[in-house]
Amino acid sequence: METQKRIPWRRWIVLALMIAGFVLGTYYFPAVQPEITVAAEKLIEEPIAENFLGLGPFYLVNTLPTLAVTIVLLVWVAFATNRSIKKSAQSDLVPQGIGNLMEALVEMLYNLTEGSAGKYARMIFPWFATIMIYVLFANLLKLIPGFESIGVLHPHGGGHGGELHSGWYLYDAEMSHEYVLAPFFRGISVDLNFTAALAVIAVIMIQVIGFRAQGIGYLSKFFNTRRMFKVPFFGAMDFLVGLLELISELSKILSFAFRLFGNMFAGIVLVAIVAGLLGNISILPAMIMMFELFVGIIQAFVFGMLTMVFMAQATQGHGEHEDHAEAHAEVAHEI
C-alpha cells in the first residue's frame, strides 16, 4: 500500500508568523526598549502616602498589582477546589477537575513532609505547602502574556511623542529609543522586598517550630554550655559552635531571599538580552520563556523544600545527637 507523503504545513505557518512578526515589528510597531532595573518601577510619580508608617513616601510600584492578582487567584483556586471536593463528596467521592489536581499536589507535598519530619509532619506541612504553592503561583504568573511587556511609557532622555487625544501618544520607529517601558505588572519574585519578607517568615517559623518541639531546650542549639564545666576545652568549643549556628540561622534570611530573587531576576535579563540580540525574530525568546517555566517550578520547589528540611531539623534536639554519640562511645569502650 502506497503511503501518502505528509506535507509539513505547520512549519510553514510558523515561518509565516515569524516573517509577519519581523515586518510588523520593524516597520509598523517597533518594540519598546526594555529597561532592566533591580528595583520595581513606579507606575505614577506621585506617592500614594507621603509618610507611610513613618518609613517615608509610599509609591505605587508595578509589583503591587501583581501581588493583588496573585492573592485573588489563590483565593479563587481555594474556593474552586473546596467546591469541587464538596461536589464529589455528594456524588461518587472521586474529585474531578481542579479538585483532583490540588488533591494530588497536596498529597504529594504531605508525603514529602512525612518522609522528612515524621511525627511532626502535621505541624510543618501547613507552612511548607503554603509557602511552596504561593511561590509557585508567583513564579508562574509572570509568564502570562502581558506581564512585563504592557505598561506606561516614561520619557528617556527628554524625548516627546506626538499627542493624539487625551494623553494618548503616537509611537513610531524614530522614537523607539526615547521612551522606556514601566510595565503594569512585574513578577513579585523579582522584587527583593517580597523574597526578603518571605524569607523572614520562613526563618521565624523555623524557630517557632523548634520551640514547640523541644521547648526551652531548643536554645541549647545556639548556647551550648552542657560541657562547659565538665570538660572546659571541649565545652568552650561547643559554645563557639553554637554561636556559629546562631550566625548560620540568621544568614538563612539572606540565603532564602537572594536565591529566589537572583534566579528569577536572571530570567528577565536573559530574555531581554536574547530579544535584543535577535531583534524582532521572536521564536527564540519564546523558547527562553519555556526555560523560565522550568526555572520557576524548580525555584518554588527548592524554596519550599529548604524551608521544610530546616523545620524538620529544628525539631531534632542538639543534645540528642550528643547523648547518642556518648552512648556509642561507652559501648565501644566496653567492647
DSSP assignment of 69-122: HHHHHHHHHHHHHHHHHHHHHTTTS---THHHHHHHHHHHHHHHHHHHHGGGHH
pLDDT at 6: 66
pLDDT at 283: 59
pLDDT at 216: 85
Please compute the mean of the pLDDT values over residues 153-172 and round it to a whole number: 48
Cα distance between residue 191 and residue 256, in whole Å: 13
* CA contacts within 13 A on the Cβ side of 294: 5
pLDDT at 320 over 60: no
Quote the DSSP letter at residue 160. Answer: -
Per-domain boundaries in the chain? 62-150+185-334
> How many C-beta atoms surround the C-beta of residue 316 within 10 A?
16
pLDDT in tens, 325-335: 443 434 334 44
Of 126, 123, 120, whose CA–CA distance to 316 is shortest? 120
pLDDT in tens, 21-32: 777 766 666 665
Pairing of strands 162-165, 151-155: unpaired
pTM of the model as a whole: 0.76
Please compute the mean of the pLDDT values over residues 208-224 and round it to a whole number: 83
pLDDT in tens, 226-239: 766 677 667 777 77
Q: For the CA atoms of the chain, what is the radius of gyration?
A: 27
